[in-house]
Amino acid sequence: MSDTTTAKAAPKTRSTKTTKSGPDFAFPNFEAFAMPKMEIPAAFREATEKSIEQARDTYAKVKTAAEDATDLMEDTFETSRQGVVEFNHKAVDAAKSNADATFSFMKDLMAAKSLAEVIELQSTFTRQQFDALSTQTKDMQEFATKLSTDVTAPVKEAVEKTFKEMKVA
């Protein structure tokens, strides 16, 4: 038995010599495809460079303004969040105080021995609760006013600064 194998010849491939302009089979150097040599006027070049520089400056200003606005919004949201949390704590404290006063009143009311004592407890409780609610309302209103000022002050300053810069420009 003879062991003869026949090797197939490799298929012929196209030559892919590389020249300065790329593979020689892609686009031969035709004069029709060559870029014309033009002299760009100096005034046009200067105007283009000036426009590019202005675009870069404008981009930098817009980027800075966007970053400032983002920082301002983050600070405003954080101030608002902290204020709302504190406001809620004040509201819960007021509700607890009012509930404690009501339970104390009910305990005293159950221990009353006469109708006159019940009426006196009722009028004392009503007066105390009216005073407490007036104080709580005043405190909550003052806090809400302070919070709104704290939240809007940075925005107001930023708007005023922007308008001032626009007048200068």
Q: Using CA atoms, how far apart are residues 38 and 29, in angstroms rounded to an integer?
A: 19
The verdict on residue 7 lying in a domain is no
- The pLDDT assigned to 34 comes to 67
Q: What is the pLDDT of residues 82-101, one digit of tens each?
A: 999 999 999 999 999 999 99
- The pLDDT assigned to 15 comes to 47
The verdict on residue 13 lying in a domain is no
Q: Which of 1-10, 31-40, 72-81, 137-146 has the highest mean pLDDT?
A: 137-146
- Looking at the chain, the whole-number percentage of residues with pLDDT higher than 70 is 78
The verdict on residue 62 lying in a domain is yes
- The pLDDT assigned to 156 comes to 86
The verdict on residue 51 lying in a domain is yes
Q: Which of 62-71, 124-133, 149-158 has the highest mean pLDDT?
A: 124-133
Number of domains in the chain: 1
163 vs 13: which has the higher pLDDT: 163
Domain interval for residue 133: 39-168
Question: Are the beta carbons of 118 and 112 closer than 8 angstroms?
Answer: yes
Q: How confident is the model at residue 32 (pLDDT cuts 50, 70, 90)?
A: low
